[in-house]
Amino acid sequence: MDTTNDTLHADLLVIGFGKGGKAVARTMGGRGKRVVLVERSERMYGGTCPNVGCVPTKALVHHAGKRRGSDPPQEWYERSVEEVQALTALFRRGNYEAMNDAETVTLVTGQATFVDPHTVAVEAGGERLTISAETILINTGAETIIPDTPGMRESKRTLTSTGLIETTILPERLAIVGGGYIGIEFASIYRRFGSRVTVFETSSRILGREDDEAAAVAEGILTDDGIEIVKGAHVTEVRDGETGATVVYEKDGRRHTLEADTILAATGRAPVTRGLGLEAAGVRTTERGAVEVDEYLRTSRPHIYALGDVRGGPQHTYLSLDDSRVVLDQLVGEGRRSVSDRVAVPRTLFMTPPLAAVGLTEKEARAAGHRVRIASKPVAEIVAMPRAYIVEEIRGFMKFVIDAETDEILGAVLLSVDAQELVNTVALAMRHGVKAAELRDAVYNHPTSTEAFNEVLATIVRADEPFERPSGGGSPAC
């Protein structure tokens, strides 16, 4: 690494220790390039996923699912949080060591701010370091938005998802503002730990971006688990009291209140660009505050790229990883790969059982002009899926949206045990043009969840027939 006084000169500067940025840093460092990676917090080495996102939340899903009715909720929860925090510390240390031990990579902890298009200043420990580079990656991620509702931001009872998973006190009464992925996942987790949970959703349904039928079935499962879901509710105020907080909300023109120990703000996440000084670099942002990029992830300055959540769009770790492939193709490849190459990107909500989806919903497919056929069946009626009975989780359903003319799989929603794995098989089939009939007639291992495709895809109805769910059912069979 070239050093002049308090200035570092690098081939590549990466701002943010997220999935995509660290992948590019590691690859370029392995090629002998001089790399500097700047992360503003030592608690975020490795990015959102291993520290405050995928790893701790899914670990909590696991621990919550292991709790028996006789296990004291508070003791079980406190021990679970401690074990999960130990796990995230292990991942964080591994990320730090992997990057810090690389000979051509320099890791700097501090806040980076652009001075000009090729230079940033980093404030760390009262000292100022200047870093210049030929190529710069912005990989600063996203952060939770707390709504500008009177009293909510000021309340001592309001937490973000990050704050909630770090507290060792299990809320007796948890109020969640937001019925999207984050809100529903946390509702499922904390209900299974033993909290009384209420979810407030402004829309007339939860999971507004998902298939209508899937959202309805998911809501039924959640309410059967004891979660209260208040739809069409607008939280208007939060007032702190001596032992908790009062959530004031309006529904159907009437004012209501709810007492809660903890309030989780789960209304979305926004790109982290504050403090970066993007104006000095000439980097434009969108109306929503994301860094503006083209299909090759280049910003308004061609030598500056943006990866992951900070560039807007769906916020998934695996998309950030794929962003690294796009950028690396620009830096050391043929420069052809782009984000428009992505087809059939799956997503999963880790409620219990998980809800996974890929492609178009039925409504989207029809709106796009497709003549569709539907294959759908409740998990409890899938005779060829004994695994659901083996693991004692027969709730949910599976649904495929199929082009009536080509037999192409346009989309699928899987609300079932193992859905987070099943959806990858469907996505792979969609990417490679595997038809619905081929997926239906494939030979799958037994007893697995995948073999449910044999039966579900055999329920296809013609495009000109009204879809009616088959009545009756059967016992699992081998």
Query: Do the first three CATH levels of 2-143+270-341 and 347-459 match, i.e. the same topology?
Result: no
- How far is 340 from 294, CA to CA, in rounded Å? 10
Token pair, residue 5, equals 């006084």
The mean pLDDT value for 449-473 works out to 70
Q: Is 347-459 in CATH node 3.30.70.1560? A: no
- How far is 470 from 459, CA to CA, in rounded Å? 8
State yes or no: pLDDT of 54 exceeds 60: yes
The mean pLDDT value for 240-247 works out to 95
Using pLDDT thresholds of 50, 70 and 90, give the confidence band for residue 23. Answer: very high
The mean pLDDT value for 382-386 works out to 94
For residue 461, count CB atoms less than 10 angstroms from its CB and return exposed for 0-12, middle for 13-18, buried for 19 or more: middle
Q: Which CATH architecture has domain 158-267?
A: 3-Layer(bba) Sandwich (3.50)
105-109 and 35-39: which strand pairing?
parallel
Do the Cβ atoms of 307 and 290 come closer than 8 Å?
A: no
For residue 444, count CB atoms less than 10 angstroms from its CB and return exposed for 0-12, middle for 13-18, buried for 19 or more: middle
- How far is 54 from 31, CA to CA, in rounded Å? 30
Using pLDDT thresholds of 50, 70 and 90, give the confidence band for residue 467. Answer: very low
Using pLDDT thresholds of 50, 70 and 90, give the confidence band for residue 150. Answer: very high
For residue 322, count CB atoms less than 10 angstroms from its CB and return exposed for 0-12, middle for 13-18, buried for 19 or more: buried
Average model confidence (pLDDT) across the chain: 94
The mean pLDDT value for 52-67 works out to 95
446 is catalytic: yes
The mean pLDDT value for 33-44 works out to 95
Q: Bridge partners of 65?
A: none
Question: What's the half-sphere exposure (Cβ side, CA atoms, 13 Å) at 398?
Answer: 28
Per-residue pLDDT reduced to its tens digit, 155-168: 999 999 999 999 99
State yes or no: pLDDT of 464 exceeds 90: no
pLDDT the model gives residue 101: 86
Domain ranges of the chain: 2-143+270-341, 158-267, 347-459
pLDDT the model gives residue 8: 92
State yes or no: pLDDT of 221 exceeds 60: yes
The mean pLDDT value for 381-406 works out to 96
Per-residue pLDDT reduced to its tens digit, 165-195: 999 999 999 999 999 999 999 999 999 999 9
- How far is 76 from 67, CA to CA, in rounded Å? 7
Per-residue pLDDT reduced to its tens digit, 398-446: 999 999 999 999 999 999 999 999 999 999 999 999 999 999 999 999 9
Token pair, residue 425, equals 């098989």
Q: Choose among 457, 470, 463: nearest CA to 365.
A: 463
The highest-level CATH class for domain 2-143+270-341 is alpha beta
Helix axes 73-100, 19-30, angle to 10 degrees: 30
- Quote the percentage of the chain above a pLDDT of 90: 91
pLDDT the model gives residue 69: 87
The mean pLDDT value for 256-270 works out to 96
Could you tell me the pTM of the whole model?
0.92
Contacts of 413 (CB under 8 A, 6+ apart): 210, 211, 213, 214, 355, 356, 357, 361, 398, 399
Per-residue pLDDT reduced to its tens digit, 353-373: 999 999 999 999 999 999 999
State yes or no: pLDDT of 463 exceeds 80: no
Strand order from edge to edge, sheet including 245-251: 233-240, 245-251, 254-260
pLDDT the model gives residue 469: 46
- Quote the percentage of the chain above a pLDDT of 70: 95
Per-residue pLDDT reduced to its tens digit, 327-347: 999 999 999 999 999 999 999
Q: Choose among 352, 351, 328, 350: nearest CA to 338.
A: 328
Tell me how far the alpha carbon of residue 186 is from its chain's centroid.
Answer: 12
pLDDT the model gives residue 58: 96
Q: Choose among 367, 429, 373: nearest CA to 401.
A: 373
pLDDT the model gives residue 228: 98
Token pair, residue 477, equals 């069979």
pLDDT the model gives residue 3: 52
Using pLDDT thresholds of 50, 70 and 90, give the confidence band for residue 1. Answer: low
> Of the residues 62, 256, 303, 446, which is catalytic?
446
